[in-house]
Structure 1
Amino acid sequence: MNEFNVTITAEQKGKRIDKVLADSFDQFSRSQIQHLIAECNIEVNGDPVKSNYKVQENDAITIEEPEPEELEITAEDLNLDIVYEDADVLVVNKPRGMVVHPAPGHTSGTLVNGLMHHCNDLSGINGVIRPGIVHRIDKDTSGLLMVAKNDKAHESLVDQLKAKTTKRVYHAIVHGVISHDTGTIDAPIGRDTDDRQAMTVTEKNSRDAVTHFQVIERFKNHTHVNCELETGRTHQIRVHMKYIGYPIMADPKYGPRKKTTYPISGQALHAAVLGFVHPRTGEEMRFEAPLPEDMKACLEQLKRENG
Structure 2
Amino acid sequence: MNGEVTEDEIMRRVLYRDALMLVIDKPAGLPVHPGPRNSLSRNGQGSQRTLTEFLPALRFGLPRVPELAHRLDRDTSGCLVLGRHRKALERLGKLFKTNQASKTYWAIVEGGPESDTGEIDLPLGPRDPDRGWWMKVDPAGQPALTRWQVLGRHEKFTWLALEPVTGRTHQLRVHCAESGFAILGDPIYGSAPRMGGPGLHLHARAITLPLYPKREAIQVEAPLPGHMLETFFELGFKY
Q: Hey, what does 2:58 align to over in structure 1?
A: 118
Q: Hey, what does 1:234 align to over in structure 2?
A: 169
- Read off the aligned partner of 1:207 and give its amino acid letter: Q
Structure 2 residue ranges without an equivalent (≥5): 1-5, 41-46
- 1:303 Cα deviation from its structure 2 partner: 3.2
CA RMSD of aligned residues (A): 2.6
- Read off the aligned partner of 1:96 and give its amino acid letter: A
2:75 is equivalent to residue 135 of structure 1: no
Contact 2:149 2:161 in 1 (8 A): yes
Contact 1:122 1:132 in 2 (8 A): no
- Read off the aligned partner of 2:55 and give its amino acid letter: L
Q: Hey, what does 1:165 align to over in structure 2?
A: 100
2:136 is equivalent to residue 200 of structure 1: yes
1:93 to 6, 15, 25: 25
2:180 is equivalent to residue 248 of structure 1: no
Distance 1:260 1:176, change over 3 A: farther
2:183 is equivalent to residue 183 of structure 1: no
Q: Which structure would you say has the larger Rg?
A: 1
Distance 1:303 1:194, change over 3 A: farther
- Post-superposition CA distance 1:118-147 (Å, at most 9, x none): 3174868xxxxxx51111111111000110
Distance 1:195 1:86, change over 3 A: same
Distance 1:83 1:200, change over 3 A: same
Q: Hey, what does 1:77 align to over in structure 2?
A: 7
Q: Secondary structure at the match of 1:228?
A: strand
Identical aligned pairs, as a percentage? 36
Runs ≥4 in structure 1, deviation > 6 angstroms? none
TM-score between both structures, scaled by the size of structure 1? 0.66
Structure 1 residue ranges without an equivalent (≥5): 1-75, 125-130
Q: Hey, what does 2:43 align to over in structure 1?
A: none
Higher relative contact order (CA 8 A, sep 6+): 2
Contact 1:218 1:224 in 2 (8 A): yes
- Post-superposition CA distance 1:145-199 (Å, at most 9, x none): 1100111111111111111111100000000132100010111111014863310
Tell me how far apart the structure 2 counterparts of residues 153 and 196 of structure 1 sit (CA, whole Å): 33
Aligned length: 220
Q: Hey, what does 2:44 align to over in structure 1?
A: none
Q: Hey, what does 2:3 align to over in structure 1?
A: none
